[in-house]
Chains A and B, each alone.
Chain A
Amino acid sequence: MFICKNLRVRVEEKTLLSNISFDVKPGEIHVIMGPNGGGKSSLLKSIAGIGGYSVLADTLSLNDADLTPFDIAKRANLGIFLSFQHPPAIPGLKLVSLIKESINARQTDQKKEKLSSAIILNELKKWTKELQFDEYLYKSEVNYNLSGGQQKMSELLQLAMLQPELAMLDEIDSGLDVDSLKKVANGINLLADGKRSFIIVTHSRKMTDYLNKIDHVHVLINGQIKTSGGKDLIDFVDKNGYESFIGETL
């Protein structure tokens, strides 16, 4: 279970987030929506430990482990996965190699034996088939010479292989055509196995329509959660926009 209580985030003199509190139970899918510049990506980055922010919280924990003293890699090895909005390219590094290094980094962190290339490759082929992705994806270099859609599929494939407890997806739907969007959404549905939690940042109504379930929706504006609700909140936002939330916290 992920618990976030009174998270405050600053960078230099600017407050990015204040009074952020929400819990994500095992298997839940939370959607975060809000206007551009509202702090959605900053929230995910703060949880992952990146961005050089000053982060304070009454509680920031995953499965009772306090995250605040831990660096980015440790948080990842504890089970936090962040899918980047704009994943950087790393020419020369094959995706299969990155996945192998990542899996074995977690194995080492958990004092388990490293997995062999053969085992990892088998698992990779299995997931590539289940997600209906092209084998070209894991043979390619990380985010290099890939289309926007392929980059997002690469993120999802990494998620499938790394098996995190909490998967945070930062606008995984952005830049996707209709077919790619369906593939990515189907992939999320497949990976939402009832034990793994998701926090999904999205602007796309279509994306949320394709998801089999959404447990909670949070509207984040000007660094604060203005309101939370169920899937019907998405309908409300779609119809009325965000203006009705600006200036008040409900």
Chain B
Amino acid sequence: MSFSCEITINGFKSDQTLTDGSEFVIAKNEHVVVTILIDLNKEKRDFDWKFNLVDRSAKLEVLVKSQLNNNSNLKGNLTINHTAAGSTAHCTFLTSADNASRVDITGSINIQKNCPHVSSRLSMKGLLLDSKSSIKQQPLLHIQTPNVQCSHGSTISSIPASQREYLQTRGLLPQTYKRVYQQAFLQNDFR
């Protein structure tokens, strides 16, 4: 069963699809952009995706936007393997969970030996919209070469009180301000 996604290679739309266990190779002079949209309502999905950058000119951008509602469950791993010096990757997860949904995801950056000058970033942002939902997100770095630029970060929050109150003073009830805030959160892509 495939996931809803858009894949472009050097600006052109690709026919490749994304299933539960897809593996991609990003080769010479390829700039691949993958945007994945996961919208679960009373559903359970797993994934295990691998992206292998095999040339110094290989570039990868991955954006995974997930919104889970009504007891949904998302579990998975995304791995970015740098096997070539100088390759570049930027991966962002934006995940929201509401109504007792659960998320357990791991993002890994692996930089193999003899791969200097790699630049790779992993950012994971989670939004909890109710007290019964949970998000577990783990960014991992495995760096086997010196002289690389690599970063990872993970934040999980609920709607800050100041922003919630601001939306409420504009007349928005909980169902509405949660929807509005979630949409705003998922707009933030690569910021």
Interface of A with B (CB < 8 Å)?
Answer: 48, 50-51, 71-73, 76-77, 81-82, 84, 87-88, 90-93, 97-98, 101-102, 105-106, 109, 141, 158, 162
A102 to B181, CA, bound (A): 13
Pair B171/A77 contact, Cβ less than 8 Å: yes
> Which residues on B sit within 8 Å (CB–CB) of A105?
170-173, 176
Roughly how many angstroms separate A50 CA and B170 CA in the complex, as a whole number? 12
- Are the C-beta atoms of A76 and B169 separated by less than 8 Å? yes
Contact in complex: A102, B191 (CB < 8 Å) = no
The 7 closest A-B pairs by CB, nearest first: A92-B184, A92-B187, A93-B184, A72-B168, A105-B171, A102-B170, A76-B171
Other-chain contact of A50, B165, B171, B185 (Cβ < 8 Å): B165
B147 CB, min distance to chain A CBs, angstroms: 34
| Other A-B pairs beyond A48-B169, A76-B168, A105-B176, 16, CB < 8 Å | A50-B165, A50-B168, A72-B169, A73-B171, A73-B172, A84-B166, A90-B163, A90-B166, A90-B167, A91-B184, A91-B191, A92-B185, A105-B170, A106-B171, A158-B170, A162-B171
**Nearest-CB distance from B182 to chain A (Å)?**
10
Closest A residue by C-beta to B163: A88
Which residues from 150 to 191 on chain B have a C-beta closer than 8 Å to any C-beta of chain A? 160, 162-163, 165-173, 176, 180-181, 183-188, 191
Residue of A nearest to B185 (CB): A92
Cβ-closest chain B residue relative to A52: B161
* Contact residues in A for B171 (Cβ distance below 8 Å): 73, 76-77, 102, 105-106, 109, 162
When distances are taken between beta carbons in the complex, the residues of chain A under 8 Å from B191 are 91
A88 touches B166 (CB 8 A): yes
In the bound complex, CA of A158 to CA of B184 (Å): 18
B39 to chain A, nearest CB (A): 17
B169 CB contacts on chain A under 8 angstroms: 48, 50, 72-73, 76, 81-82, 84
Cα A50 to Cα B167 in complex, Å, equals 11
By the criterion of a CB under 8 Å from any partner CB, how many residues of chain B are at the interface? 22
- Output the nearest chain B residue to A76 by Cβ-Cβ distance: B171
Q: Which of B38-89 contact A (CB under 8 A)?
A: none
Contact indicator A98/B187 (Cβ below 8 Å): no
Quick one: closest B residue to A91, CB to CB? B188
Chain B residues with Cβ under 8 A from A158's Cβ? 170
In the complex, A92 Cα to B189 Cα: how many Å? 9
**B172 close to A102 (CB less than 8 A):** yes
Report the bound CA distance from A88 to B160 in whole Å.
10
| Chain A hits for B187, CB < 8 A | 91-93
Most A CB within 10 A of own CB, among B169, B183, B187: B169
Name the CB-closest residue of A to B180. A101
Can you list 11 pairs linking A and B with CB atoms under 8 Å apart? Answer: A48-B169, A50-B165, A51-B165, A84-B166, A90-B181, A92-B184, A92-B186, A102-B170, A105-B170, A105-B173, A109-B171
Residues of B within 8 A of A76 (CB): 168-171
> Is A73 touching B173 in the complex (CB atoms < 8 A)?
yes
Question: Which residues from B are CB-within-8-Å of A141?
Answer: 184
Which residue of B160, B166, B176 is within 8 Å of A101 (Cβ)?
Answer: B176
In the assembly, what is the distance between CA of A141 and CA of B185, in Å?
A: 12
Nearest CB of chain A from residue B176's CB, rounded to whole Å:
6
Q: A88-B160, A88-B162 are in contact. Are A101 and B184 (CB under 8 A)?
A: no
- Contacts of A48 on B, CB cut-off 8 Å? 169
Give the docked Cα–Cα distance between A162 and B167 (Å).
13
